[in-house]
Amino acid sequence: MIRLQNYRSGRTFQFFNNALMIILSLSMLSPLIHLTAVSFSSPKFVGAKQVYFWPKGFNIEVYKTIVSTHSIWKSLGVSVYITVFGTLIALVFVSSIAFALSRPNMPYKKLILKGIIVTLVFSLPLIPSYLVVRALSMDNTLWALMMPGALSAFNVIIMKTFFQGISSEIFDAAKIDGCGELRIYGRIVIPLSTPVIATIALFHAVGQWNSYFSALIYIHERSLMPIQVLLRSLVIEDNLISMSPTGVDLAVPSTPEMLKAGIILFGTLPILIVYPFLQKFFVKGAMLGSLKE
């Protein structure tokens, strides 16, 4: 009898838990579905606020405009560039310092780790950060969008914790075979750390792709602006001039709401395509990094 009651209570809990997860998932997907419906609808239905989760008066004029606009492709290329190379730079910085901190014989390891933790609590103010970027001649270059945020204290701690979970016997066997620390790092640690590397890469890539504030501060040329700055200009300021390479207001056969929806989807699609390929590594790496000390 008690087992039957426990079974029923467990089934009830599972039912409500699944229902809650479905509701949360739908609430997160509903804005994306709405934007898709708006971008594929007729201007008269969008202007009358009659489009919700299904297109009305199907047309693709918005996407014809987006595909034919050079500035959007230019901004997309900049975003792809800083995301790919910025993530690679971040992985090199984070993995190298995390490996060094995970080694038991590293001098002043505790002092360096405390300094990294301080940066996790107290971030660099804007004005000193700008002065440093300008002093290094990175102002108005793509380096300013990739280098300042390449080394994250949070990512260093996660990767260091993962490295410490690797068996020390592997390192001892490598040293017997004549491997130095650099070869251990490149040929043993990195190949064994695919889950946590994919996790950190996904963390950084998503943050890099969605970042726009750094570009507003450090970049002055329109040709170097990432697509998120263009989206901000269009969505917040209703500025179609930023999309035109000639500096003239862009005429489009649609409503501003349709154009906003189309460009938002266009700017979100690349990161949505990448995520499913890294999801299994992301889940595994996050769990391993949280369980090992």
Distance CA 205, CA 86 (A): 8
CA-based radius of gyration for the chain? 24
What's residue 182's pLDDT?
Answer: 84
Mean pLDDT of all residues in 125-129:
83
How far apart, in Å, are the Cα atoms of 71 and each of 51, 67, 83, 243? 28, 10, 18, 6
> Residue 221 is encoded by which pair of tokens?
């040329």
Any alpha helices (H) in the chain, and if so which ranges? 2-39, 43-47, 61-68, 70-102, 109-121, 126-135, 143-146, 153-164, 168-176, 181-184, 190-192, 194-210, 213-218, 227-237, 256-291
Predicted TM-score (pTM) of the model is: 0.77
Distance CA 63, CA 36 (A): 11
pLDDT beyond 60 at 99: yes
**Mean pLDDT comparison of 92-101, 102-111, 244-253, 265-274, highest-scoring range:** 92-101
Angle in degrees, CA 173, 293, 177, rounded to 5: 10
What's residue 247's pLDDT?
Answer: 45
Residues 32, 33, 35, 40, CA torsion sign: positive
- Residue 276 or residue 217, greater confidence: 217
pLDDT beyond 50 at 149: yes
Q: Which residues contact 209 (CB under 8 A, 6 or more apart)?
A: 79, 83, 228, 270, 271
HSE value, Cβ hemisphere, 13 Å, CA-based, for 225 = 21
Number of other residues whose CB lies within 10 A of the CB of residue 87: 22
pLDDT-wise least confident of 32-41, 186-195, 211-220, 236-245: 236-245
How far apart, in Å, are the Cα atoms of 82 and each of 38, 184, 232? 30, 29, 18
Rounded-to-10 torsion of CA 97, 99, 100, 106: 150
pLDDT-wise least confident of 102-106, 123-127, 153-157, 232-236: 232-236
> Residue 72 is encoded by which pair of tokens?
């959007």
- Residue 39 or residue 217, greater confidence: 217
pLDDT beyond 70 at 292: no
**Through-space distance between the first and last CA atoms of the chain, rounded to whole angstroms:** 43
* Mean per-residue pLDDT over the chain, rounded: 79
Mean pLDDT of all residues in 70-75:
83
